[in-house]
Structure 1
């Protein structure tokens, strides 16, 4: 049994650990949300060029090329190395700058946030794998700002300066908010220092902690209502490694499960009605995030697996379903919007891959090359020049409790750079070298995923990210449906 699968731009939300931060919030219970921007989208590319990263933009691999997917896989591997070490409210809260999220400019998801008085807008990477928040600030060594021009359709990118905000105050070394008082020295002038190092390419961020207002908007049936939250964040004075090339852009905002993360503190401060948030992963790379969103009655759910140290969004699955075949394989996996693809250990990997391969008509192919290096995917298939359609088996995962997690985008499709003709596709899963399974963004496409920490459950439903809070009502896809290859490639 088979169906067609539509190509999309693969998503990636950066996941890196950040220094300590916490929020003190003033406001009434509701929910907040904001738009996401992916790091490879035209919107973020324009913002990057406005910041002076023209050479970097020119070097990005073409979307759909083997080099593109090889780069995604390499970035995933670095993040996984780090991890190997280590009822809906009536209103939602979002950032005042907007509720759309976009993927572009190097496989990250971004959102605009406004800090300070008067407010300054920053384009920050969203990170479900960390808990804390920092922005470039009074820079001694940061990514260069060759100009401060506003890119067409985008925000003005800048550095935060405590001196320019009337509501900014330093977090002192004797403050209960300072978790590194022993690191205080004359160099920090009484301010609490922070520092974080990342696995990839000697990348780090360091500076001091400050407190200022984060501008939010209450969304709901009525008019949008602005509000402010006092937030402690890193004033990032020194960046190294990938951050100097724009990898962090204008900072990082963590969405992890720790009590100091933004979602946790919004809930504990009473600003949102539920200690929960949702992320919508659109087919076109446009998404949404809403704080305080506990989902809806119609969503499917499965419980989080409790962990005593460093809790994560970890869930259990009992069966892998591929077309007409079902494999009773029990495994746990982290639901990680910070990873582009899905990484599985054996026997999970083999069960999914071999059952998929047995139901594919196209011939196996190897797309490794000198420029792409060793292509990361094992199960790839070549399309014939005259081919106009392709059929794929339906993939889903049965979760603990029996709910079906639909995988609407299990493949990547790529084309020849010179002719733009589709040449092949691959099953977008990789065998993991670490003792964890990762369900990445490609398996969440087309869904609104609810990270409900209050009830300790993961929720999901098919959703149109462009239509606000209303779910898109869609029928389950037919197993024997095919479509034009031009639609699959979305070109």
Structure 2
């Protein structure tokens, strides 16, 4: 996962949230007793995690639409495999910054989930998260709300650095000479969202038209999803067999490490072999049951390293540079 340190509420509190392109709702741990309290980084340092409380924020209020008028509350439930987040929806201020120097602060009222109950890996103190920053295509997601309010264009970019440092920029439509592919509508989702105002929406899917392994190229067309929340690339047959059969022993990284493997969609290419081989170490039944893949291919965040990926929802294209 890639994380961002964001500020929410008044007074502003900082939260270390996971950037998730397949989630729509932005939610934070809220008045919960079993939430993760610390995040342990790989270098041994520890980051203390905050807990959001609507009663402690002077700008928090019930959502203005989509909720029960009789109960004056809007509940939500997100189920993702063996993990879940349940609570209520609230409106509060998200504090953003511009690229200008000195930086201007932009405060935007946004709807977020107040997660009162969490389960599964959300509670893991070594990798437990301080919330999920929903970047999906539904109207409840952060990019959609910012665009709907006229704050920025309906597009955003994520730059995945190789040194564990990245950047997310709202309103970014990329540069003119960027490469791009059309996004296609596909209603596969690994989440079940139980709420009248939240629907299963299309995710960021593209069509891959060719696969090249060294000098061997085949026209195996398939749909792939760009998912910043998945750690390993998932490729099913016949594409997977083609790569393994032409790329050496799938269980031995050292033997085939020098061989180049490319996945091509129009002019797009990227090194894929190490991701595939790392995935091959995992039990396929476990992965399928956890992510509910159903033969959908996933290109995860490590596949995007070294690229500035543009999710342009106005033009419905995925761009990169």
Range into which the TM-score falls when normalised by the shorter chain = 0.7 to 0.9
User: How many angstroms apart in 1 are the aligned matches of 2:156 and 2:260?
Assistant: 28
Structure 2: gaps spanning 5 or more residues? 39-43, 188-199, 289-293
Query: TM-score, length-normalised on structure 2?
Result: 0.82
Question: How has the CA–CA distance of structure 1 residues 328 and 343 changed in structure 2, closer, same or farther, with 3 Å as cutoff?
Answer: same
- Superposed, 1:314-353 pairs within 5 Å as 314-353=205-244
Cα displacement (A) at 1:382? 4.9
- More contact order relative to length (CA 8 Å, sep ≥ 6): 1
Question: How has the CA–CA distance of structure 1 residues 205 and 237 changed in structure 2, closer, same or farther, with 3 Å as cutoff?
Answer: same
Corresponding residue of 2:252? 380
Corresponding residue of 2:273? 410
Corresponding residue of 2:111? 232
Q: 2:78 aligns with which of 193, 196, 218?
A: 196
- Superposed, 1:346-365 pairs within 5 Å as 346-357=237-248, 364=249
The C-alpha deviation readout for 1:119-169, integer Å capped at 9, x for no partner, is: 111111111111001111222x322548xxxxx988652211222222122
Question: How has the CA–CA distance of structure 1 residues 345 and 153 changed in structure 2, closer, same or farther, with 3 Å as cutoff?
Answer: closer
CA contact (8 A) 2:111 2:140 kept: no
- Superposed, 1:39-438 pairs within 5 Å as 108-139=1-32, 141-143=33-35, 145=37, 156-171=48-63, 175-178=64-67, 181=68, 190-200=72-82, 203-220=83-100, 222-246=101-125, 247-272=127-152, 274-307=153-186, 310-357=201-248, 364=249, 378-382=250-254, 392-399=258-265, 402-407=266-271, 410-411=273-274, 427-430=277-280, 434-438=294-298
User: How many angstroms apart in 2 are the aligned matches of 1:143 and 1:318?
Assistant: 44
Structure 1: gaps spanning 5 or more residues? 1-107, 147-151, 358-363, 365-377, 384-389, 413-425, 462-491
The number of residue pairs the alignment matches comes to 293
Cα displacement (A) at 1:253? 1.2
The C-alpha deviation readout for 1:295-350, integer Å capped at 9, x for no partner, is: 11221111111347621111111111122221121111111122112111211111
CA contact (8 A) 1:344 1:429 kept: no
| SS state at 1:294 partner | coil
User: How many angstroms apart in 2 are the aligned matches of 1:240 and 1:310?
Assistant: 24
- Superposed, 1:407-486 pairs within 5 Å as 407=271, 410-411=273-274, 427-430=277-280, 434-461=294-321
Root-mean-square deviation (CA, aligned residues, Å) is 2.6
Question: How has the CA–CA distance of structure 1 residues 276 and 332 changed in structure 2, closer, same or farther, with 3 Å as cutoff?
Answer: same
Query: TM-score, length-normalised on structure 1?
Result: 0.55
User: How many angstroms apart in 2 are the aligned matches of 1:240 and 1:162?
Assistant: 21
Cα displacement (A) at 1:261? 0.8
Cα displacement (A) at 1:228? 0.2
CA contact (8 A) 1:117 1:213 kept: yes
User: How many angstroms apart in 1 are the aligned matches of 2:306 and 2:36?
Assistant: 36
